[in-house]
Amino acid sequence: MSIKPLNNKVAVQYLKDEKEEKTTEGGIVIPDSAQKDEKPQQGKIVAVGDNIAEEGKEDPVVVGDLVVFDKYAGTKVEIDEEEYIILEIKDVLAVIS
């Protein structure tokens, strides 16, 4: 089974060693200034939409890229017991290499 993001969206797979234990389980809203110690999430691009490039430019990310993205953007999707996050390309902050 494969996933194909639409338009300006990309699918990212979380890095296995990512720590999430700082997230409150009760769903409390944590103001920005309290989140300073939390890492934005990192992951690997597994699929990209057809429209992620700026006009006339190359795609800013390709499958396999390690990226940093805003922890509070995007939507989680679970397919075949594997978890992905689907983000608009504007919420991908940077590529790490």
Q: Enumerate binding residues for a second copy (CB under 8 A).
A: 1-7, 9, 11, 23-36, 39-40, 47, 50-51, 54, 57, 60-61, 68, 70, 72, 75-79, 86, 89-90, 92-97
Tell me how far, at minimum, the Cβ of 21 lies from a second copy, in Å.
Answer: 13
CB of 5 to a second copy, least distance (A): 5
The rounded distance, in Å, linking the Cα atoms of 46 and 4 is 9
Smallest separation, CB 43 to a second copy (Å): 13
Full 3-state SS string of 20-58: CCCCCCCCCCCCHHHCCCCCCEEEEEEEECCCCCCCCCC
